[in-house]
Structure 1
């Protein structure tokens, strides 16, 4: 397409040559001022004539110089609209020597009406239209067609289709100045790599060098996770990785002499790489120059490289500054975490003697820097004070990179913002004053959720419906103007939940304030719940509502963030009360009472630590653990009841032929034993996250629990037990049981019908993100799990475990929480299988609102 300015010169030249021929009555004097008598616009199809004249800013009666700047400016202005393919001025009449009639001739660019993409699947064609902006109403130029064609070819070449072709044709539409477009795409076959050949490598094997090429792989039908394809940019990156692998092994002078790509007859390619390895080098003397804040010994400990170590150029760079880890233990972070924002550290080779290289680590410390102005942008719903109380960067504090990284982590953990888009922007960095301003950019995402949860267990389908407001503002609950649609922004959590099946119903309400009083990170929480359990009638297959079991619970808790051992620790305490009420209802572990009640008053204390980063949905590093103890008062020490005699009487009565009198006495005994529950419960759960390669993350987990009693004569608590196996739905419902997920088995099938008093579980899970966008975070996973439930320590064997493996998918949408599906294979039989040698086999677990 002609350059605008070139076209302008051609147009003006044509204008000048046309003046004499088109002047009808009077000779046109060049460089003379003329008065505009009339302006006419020709060639327009979609535009109004008066609109075009108004845009030229020319008017009747205006005096202009012909030729002159005014007409040149008009032509430039019209060209910049990118709406026309030709713009020309003509003199069509001159009267009285200085009155001129102008004709503005415009050729409009055609408008795109319809697009058809051929050669690819329809669903992919939609994406192409979005990526290339081939939308209806687009002005079609030769430049746009060429750009689109080049984009398509480059796109498919990057995917390994080196012979990709694209052809774009346009033809007039029947309506107005419109055109239709046909885009023919011929991807061809993906070009695969048949051979990768190395020449000149003696110290590092072909296999090791090919392994370093993360992107460019040979054809291998057994490798499903990385397809063979050749992409030039990725190939160049792999060549750099090969050199890095030599530097990691001491070969500082290694280089690629030549590389070539040859095409085979079967549409594959061979890659030949000629190498020169050079000699292996070692680190010699290492001196620190310019350091006054830290001693040589302190820097040497952090640096970690010693005289005599094999030269490693990659590790040397990381010890100075590791760009892959914001919280790395390197020299740069050592200075920047202690105020020296303006410091710089460089490693300089000072001598190379034979195979030994001496280094100077030159440090320019600069002056300490301090945080000045701290601002946040992008928080449309969340109030500023909710954000600022989480920030570790305070005005006037000594600069610390760790404080910036930690602030980003804390904002991500809130769950109100997209953790992938939290960006600290350094502004007004002033080395002279030693100050820096920081602006945190956040992107709000939906904090409220509709919880939908489904699964099979407990005699049928269990469904959950809940409303969770995770950024609530209770202080504005009576402020009508704050309802948009609910009062939000103060970081509080309010949840209403209903869980039901044909055999039970559970209602619950909970509220938490993360900063009680607004000055310290002390979380206050409270919850209220009520459950109704109905007896299953096997004759009708329905619930018998005349036989029911009612549970009402209330809890109040406080959790305080600690400062020692570090401020990732939280100490939480809670008081809880549950009232269990039986109405014509008999349960196996509470079998002697059909009409009665039991009370559970307990104190829970827990110590937890969570330093995972940064996305709570998909942590990539760090760990989280929790150890807790739940205890009741030791009633048997002061209630004056002889539980040994009571237990002996119970055993004797149960061995007799049942009579109304004996049954009545058994109910009295159990009512005495369990009127107030007496137990202690200890649990541990830990998860560790390790980033392996690229975005692949390994989650390692371990958990265990024990339910004990103070008085063996009184017996174990009939409630608060562990039920192992399945999807883990329905936690902390019904009789206070805890459902422990172990995929590959039926729900609650790895404990007996009365539950377990001891359990342990171990898991490995590989996770890979498909997308982590605010609208939906999606990741795939594969897992190995093992666990078991036991009734007492005599049975307990930590190595006698039920094993499983499988794969699954998780989707997190802000409005609905976490959705998922798992396919697990149980290698062992469950506790209720008729054949204890047969494996559980494949089980499907559909998860909504539950995370393992």
Structure 2
């Protein structure tokens, strides 16, 4: 390399390293080396290189700079590029070298990457599961670039998680252990310490109701000597918000329509082991019901509807009673097929006499018909077994009571653990599609047992039963019991809906043998029956039973005694 070239290289490197003093260095250059400035050294950048990157792609780095091959050398532009690369957050050191060549300048960015997180562990946590800390407390992830700011943020989030759970003196720290290949092991250490307990619950501003009356509806409880056996005294931050709503609801249920409860104030004791929770209540005034009216699309007699309302004029206004009356009116219309009937409550508050006028305005909408009934979830049970129990049919007016009855019938079958009726809009405004979602349950049983008795010695028994045989609603049961002195066999079958009608059929066969000391008794029988269902809970049934008993293997003495004992008449 020529002397001039080496000198230009040194000068260029010097410019890159003393960027903050660049104007002064340029001035000194002009004063002491004017001849060099007059030389024909190139100032055009012909190439840009990146060295030292391992995980971060070269293109990702170059995409952040504005300097491009063909640009004239600019120290200010390179300074901005350096800051832009630093802003990526992936590097702990960046150095720029500028090398002159006969064709122009080559700019080289030398980068030193921050280590990546090869492993994250959490130690010392018992009150909060590791998974919850990972999901809600950590802002750092494995294989990501180590960012101390994010590590500190994670520490703060974990501490907040513990604070929310009542561990106000929990301590969280971290340490970083170097690993191979520029990776680190990030370890969070947790000292949970003791959880605070609620020493006292204070309610302020309550004039009409005592503290004890309000506390009965609250989840937050004061600690006591027996708290270890219950939830009393346990700190639950989420319970405070719910207790605010509970207190307000309690007042609403007693006519205080403007009641407000402020955010609770939590005071931590000096030793950070207990807290005092203070709720402040603004009760407002108690209101009563003024005038009542029902307007809108009336298809029922207004007086008849008014007769069934729970809220009456002069009563304390209770929100839940109003909702009950609202649901009652809407239900009456929906049961008549007006599935989209809506009841709007209009209120007029009279602060001067503390009353509220209530007007129920009815919008009945259109009569709605069932366009289609679809059944899903019945992998075993046939559709027709379900449909025959329905009190609704396609093409009929949609009825709320009929849907409720249909659900009760299906649940009574014992085939399903849950039945849900979903209503979806049909092809027109007055049509509804019904989707019946069923969750099938186990309908069969297999019981096998063995025992020992002084009579039969070893006894074995088995039973197989099925309430929904072949998915057709058939029922059967097989029983067997074997012992040294006894043998019992039986089989029973029933069809509760013969040809999907209200008629039922049942039948059974039994065979029993029992060895007595002096003879053997054999019983064989057959029974059958039919029934007819009347309404929802009644049925008529009749049956026929035939049995035959054989006594054999008598000794002569036993036979004589047996005949003597049978002398006379027996009516069965």
TM-score interval, smaller chain = 0.5 to 0.7
Q: Is 1:357–2:312 an aligned residue pair?
A: no
Pairing 1:171–2:170 present:
no
Distance 1:105-1:496 versus aligned 2 partners, 3 A rule: farther
Which residue in the other structure is 1:159 paired with? 165
Aligned partner of 1:599 among 518, 521, 524: 524
1:44 paired to 2:61? no
SS in 2 for 1:345: strand
Equivalent position of 2:190 in the other structure: 185
Deviation at 1:627, TM superposition (A): 11
- Select the residue among 114, 119, 125 that pairs with 1:113: 119
Quote the offset at 1:597 in angstroms: 1.4
Confirm or deny that 1:663 pairs with 2:534. Answer: no
Say how many residue pairs are matched.
Answer: 503
Secondary structure of the structure 1 residue equivalent to 2:201: strand
Instruction: Report the Cα offset of residue 118 of structure 1.
Output: 1.5
- Choose from 238, 255, 264 the match for 1:233: 238
Contact 2:169 2:193 in 1 (8 A): yes
Residue of structure 1 equivalent to 2:274: 268
Match of 2:288 among 279, 282, 286: 282
Q: Could you tell me whether the CA contact under 8 Å between 2:286 and 2:354 is conserved in 1?
A: yes
User: 1:523: Cα distance to partner?
Assistant: 1.6
When normalised by structure 2's length, the TM-score is: 0.65
Does structure 2 conserve the Cα–Cα contact (< 8 Å) formed by 1:118 and 1:182?
Answer: no
Distance 1:220 1:608, change over 3 A: farther
CA distance in 2, matches of 1:112, 1:66: 40
Cα deviation, residue 287, structure 1: 0.8
**Counterpart contact for 2:244–2:262, Cα < 8 Å:** no
Give the corresponding residue for 1:317: 323
Shift of 1:188: 3.8
Residue by residue, what CA displacement relative to the aligned partner does 1:192-240 show, whole Å, maximum 9, x if unpaired?
A: 2233334443432322111011x11112334634332343432222122
Distance 1:512 1:196, change over 3 A: closer
Do structure 1's residue 530 and structure 2's residue 480 form an aligned pair?
yes
Q: Secondary structure at the match of 2:289?
A: strand
Q: Which runs of structure 2 are paired with 1:268-667 in the superposition (5 Å)?
A: 268-297=274-303, 299-300=305-306, 303-321=309-327, 330-352=328-350, 354-369=353-368, 398=397, 433-434=429-430, 470=442, 497-501=447-451, 503-513=458-468, 523-533=473-483, 547-560=484-497, 574-582=506-514, 585-586=515-516, 594-602=519-527, 633=545, 661=556, 663-665=558-560
d(CA) in 1 for partners of 2:180, 2:251? 65
Distance 1:120 1:408 in 2: 46
TM-score for both structures, normalised by structure 1: 0.46
CA distance in 2, matches of 1:375, 1:93: 78
| Higher deviation after alignment, 234-243 or 106-115 | 106-115
The answer as to whether partners of 1:387 and 1:411 remain within 8 angstroms in 2 is no
Q: How far apart in 2 are the matches of 1:97 and 1:402?
A: 92
Q: CA deviation at 1:514?
A: 6.2
Preserved contact between residue 170 and residue 179 of structure 1 (Cα < 8 Å): no
Distance 2:138 2:379 in 1: 33
Answering whether residue 207 of structure 2 is matched by residue 196 of structure 1, we say no
Query: Which of these two proteins has the greater Rg computed from alpha carbons?
Result: 2
* Superposed displacement of residue 264, structure 1: 4.1
Q: Does residue 65 of structure 2 align to residue 27 of structure 1?
A: no
Question: Alpha carbons of 1:273 and 1:633: their partners in 2 closer, same or farther (altered >3 Å)?
Answer: same
Q: C-alpha offsets along residues 351-377 of structure 1, whole Å, 9 cap, x if unaligned?
A: 536243221112233334456677788
CA distance in 1: counterparts of 2:500 and 2:390, whole angstroms? 15
What's the RMSD between the two structures over aligned residues?
Answer: 5.9
- Rate the CA distance shift 1:364–1:249 in 2: closer, same or farther, 3 A: same
Report the CA distance shift for 1:25/1:248 in structure 2 as closer, same or farther (over 3 A): same
The Cα of 1:333 is off from its aligned counterpart by 4.1
CA displacement, residues 527-582 of structure 1 (integer Å, 9 cap, x when unaligned): 3332212xxxxxxxxxxxxx331111111112249999xxxxx9965322221112
Q: Supply the distance in 2 between the matched residues of 1:359 and 1:631 (Cα, whole angstroms).
A: 61
Report the equivalent of 2:78. none
Give the structure 2 partner of residue 718 of structure 1.
Answer: none
Contact 1:557–1:575, Cα closer than 8 Å, also in 2? yes
Higher helix share: 2
Deviation sequence 1:696-727 (CA, Å, 0-9, x none): xxxxxxxxxxxxxxx9976xxxxxxxxxxxxx
- Counterparts of 1:142 and 1:409 in 2: how far apart (Å)? 61
Q: Which residue in the other structure is 2:223 paired with? A: 219
Deviations 1:587-610, CA, capped at 9 Å, x for gaps: xxxxx765221235445789999x
Deviation at 1:44, TM superposition (A): 1.8
Structure 2: which 5+ residue stretches go unaligned?
A: 1-15, 23-40, 73-80, 453-457
Matches of 1:630 and 1:92 in 2, distance apart?
108
Sort the Cα spacing of 1:561 and 1:602 in 2 relative to 1 into closer, same or farther, 3 A: closer
Instruction: Report the CA distance between 1:250 and its aligned residue.
Output: 3.0
Residues 298-326 of structure 1, C-alpha deviations (whole Å, 9 max, x = no match): 543554322233221233234435xxxxx
Contact kept, 8 Å, 1:426 with 1:438, in 2: the verdict is yes
Contact 1:111 1:138 in 2 (8 A): yes
Other structure's SS at 2:250 match: helix
**In the alignment, what sits opposite 2:214?**
209
What does the per-residue CA deviation read over 1:495-546, in whole Å, with 9 as the maximum and x for residues that have no partner? 6553334522224444554687xxxxx621223332212xxxxxxxxxxxxx
**Aligned equivalent of 1:327:** none
User: Which residue of structure 1 aligns with residue 8 of structure 2?
Assistant: none
Relative to structure 1, is the Cα distance of residues 125 and 597 closer, same or farther in structure 2, using a 3 angstrom cutoff? same
The 3 A distance-change label for structure 1 pair 39 and 308 is same
Following TM superposition, by how much is the alpha carbon of 1:25 offset from its aligned partner in structure 2, in angstroms?
Answer: 5.6
Q: Deviations over 1:806-838 (max 9, x none)?
A: xxxxxxxxxxxxxxxxxxxxxxxxxxxxxxxxx
- Cα pair 2:370 2:432 within 8 Å, conserved: yes
SS of the aligned residue for 1:599 comes to strand
Change in CA separation of 1:553 and 1:424 when aligned onto 2, cut-off 3 Å:
closer
Distance in 1, matches of 2:522 and 2:493, equals 22
* Mapped partners of 2:120, 2:49: distance in 1: 35
SS in 2 for 1:212: coil
Structure 1, gaps ≥5 residues long: 1-13, 29-33, 68-74, 322-329, 448-469, 471-492, 517-521, 534-546, 565-569, 587-591, 612-624, 640-658, 674-710, 715-852
